[in-house]
Structure 1
Amino acid sequence: MEISSIISAIVIGVVIGVLGRLVVPGRQHIGVLLTIVVGIVAALAGTALATAFGVADTGGVDWIEWLVQIGLAALGVAALDGMRTRR
């Protein structure tokens, strides 16, 4: 993996994390750093899933890949928020 790939994964992860957090209704009780980590993991996992289903590389903007990534980030944010509020 090149350094530019790592940097782009972090930047995309931040965006995905924020979008995932916006999708989840209500107030979340997790911090910004945890949201960024969830976004990075969701971006990487979403890319892997999109690649597995053959929708990662399209002729234009990869909307399906973005939706998968945002959905995974929303699930991650909701799961972490649920774990944090139970304590």
Structure 2
Amino acid sequence: MVLNIIGWVVFGLIAGLIARAIVPGKDDIGLFMTIVLGIVGSIAGGVLFDLIKGHGFHGFQDFRPAGFIGSVIGAIIVLVIYNKVTGRKRLRR
């Protein structure tokens, strides 16, 4: 159980950092929010890929996170939405 949580945190951090590197501009979010971004991106990527494959979304009873690429794509989508909603994104100088 503890190793699963540690795995999610490390995986979320890596996916979140890659998403932040890909999306242009400066992000004013800290390490914790980067981890949350990666974890939420993994969940979003898993749901998105299930919908694309035609499996539909049946709630979280058969919850599966996306693979690495799906997690990064999901984190990019979540980051772009987060920046639009909060208006926090600034261009790098």
TM-score range, shorter chain: 0.5 to 0.7
Partner residue in 1 for 2:68: 66
Q: Which has the higher helix share?
A: 1
Inter-CA distance 40–33: structure 2 relative to 1 (3 Å threshold) = same
Secondary structure at 1:15 match in 2 = helix
Partner residue in 2 for 1:75: 77
Contact 1:9/1:40, CA 8 A, preserved across alignment: yes
**TM-score scaled by length of structure 2:** 0.63
Contact 1:38/1:73, CA 8 A, preserved across alignment: yes
| Residue segments in structure 2 that go unaligned for 5+ positions in a row | 54-65, 89-93
Q: How many residues align?
A: 74
Letter of the aligned partner of 2:36 in structure 1?
V
Inter-CA distance 82–9: structure 2 relative to 1 (3 Å threshold) = same
Identity %: 30
Inter-CA distance 34–84: structure 2 relative to 1 (3 Å threshold) = same
